[in-house]
Amino acid sequence: METKPYLIALDLDGTLLKDDKTISAYSLEIIKKAKEAGHIVCISTGRPYRSSSLYYRQMNLDTPIVNFNGAFVHHPKDKNWGTFHTTLDLEIVKEIIDKAEKHHVHNILAEVKDRVYFHQHDERLLDVFSMGDPEMTVGDLRENLGEDVTSILIHSDEKNVDKIRAYLSDVHAEVVEHRRWAAPWHVIEIIKKGINKAVGLKKIADHYNIPAERIIAFGDEDNDLEMLEFAGQGVAMGNAIDKLKSVANKQTKTNEEDGIAVYLKEALSL
């Protein structure tokens, strides 16, 4: 192969996935062509592995994957590749739970790899988290959690989101990163300080000896900011938030219009 391979990093929700959470036939076709041309395709998502493995299989990937926005990176098909799991200290988690309760939040969830802990029973969120059939535990997190956690999610009223985030920035800035989910969910997601998708993607790029200028990364939300800044070609979807579009050096069509496929076909002459 004369051309040097590119590493192509795909965010899932709002990016590769259409709004109905499927990958279009055209996107699958172009991704297959990219792989056949020698390029390396990987997933970089905020989702846990259990709810991204379906898409991993659908694209026939054999690459490492970035989950939990970089807090968990592993290679599903190669145990020897290593596992990078960056956790939040349990004591800090308990402090955050105490504070969140004072704001009368709807619920708090903790994820430890593929196990999900609900502070209280929650039909709406059970549905969101049931994909991949995780082990679920319901009850006071302070009693049920026995180890450091991968991520915490706080589900709150919209009016409290900013207050809780201000507290996290004031009190725990040294130890946590926090982001808010896209509407309609008023969810604050917390992972360890210094962790983001770019950190995870760099591990994969280093493994394949691919420099940043040969990375093409696609995203739509604020958890994609660092990854799009890191990639030589940081591509914002047409439906991306404005902040991401301003950081990205490229733009494509929306997730409903095969934005990834349209971009790759041209950029890689597929």
Instruction: Render pLDDT for 150-163 as a digit per residue (tens, 0 to 9).
Output: 999 999 888 888 88
**24 belongs to a structural domain:** yes
Q: Where a domain ends, among 144, 165, 192?
A: 192
Average pLDDT rounded to a whole number, residues 233-248: 96
Say what the pLDDT of residue 1 is: 47
Q: What domain range includes position 20?
A: 7-84+195-267
The residue annotated as part of the active site, out of 11, 13, 224, 258, is 11
Write the CATH number for 148.
3.30.1240.10
12 and 68 housed in the same domain: yes
Neighbours of 266 (CB within 10 A): 10
107 and 127 housed in the same domain: yes
Q: Where a domain ends, among 142, 167, 192?
A: 192
pLDDT for residue 148 is more than 70: yes
70 and 100 housed in the same domain: no
Q: Give φ, ψ of 154 to 5 degrees.
A: -110, 120
**Distances in whole angstroms, Cα of residue 220 to Cα of each of 96, 115, 136, 196, 235:** 28, 27, 29, 15, 9
Closest CA to 63 of 47, 48, 41, 92: 41
70 and 199 housed in the same domain: yes
As a whole number of angstroms, the distance between CA 90 and CA 117 comes to: 13
Number of compact structural domains in the chain = 2
pLDDT digits (tens, 9 = 90+) for 29-53: 999 999 999 999 999 999 999 999 9
**Active site (annotated) includes residue 11:** yes
**257 belongs to a structural domain:** yes
Q: What is 125-172 written as a DSSP string?
A: HHHHH-TT--EEEES-HHHH--S-BSEEEEE--HHHHHHHHHHHHHHS
Q: Where a domain ends, among 157, 177, 192?
A: 192
β-bridge mates for residue 125, sequence order:
none
**2 belongs to a structural domain:** no
Buried/exposed 122-151: b ≥16 CB within 10 Å, e otherwise: beebeeebeeeebeeeeeebeeebeebbbb
pLDDT digits (tens, 9 = 90+) for 193-230: 999 999 999 999 999 999 999 999 999 998 999 999 99
97 and 178 housed in the same domain: yes
98 and 222 housed in the same domain: no
218 and 184 housed in the same domain: no
Helical (H) or strand (E) element with 94? helix 90-102
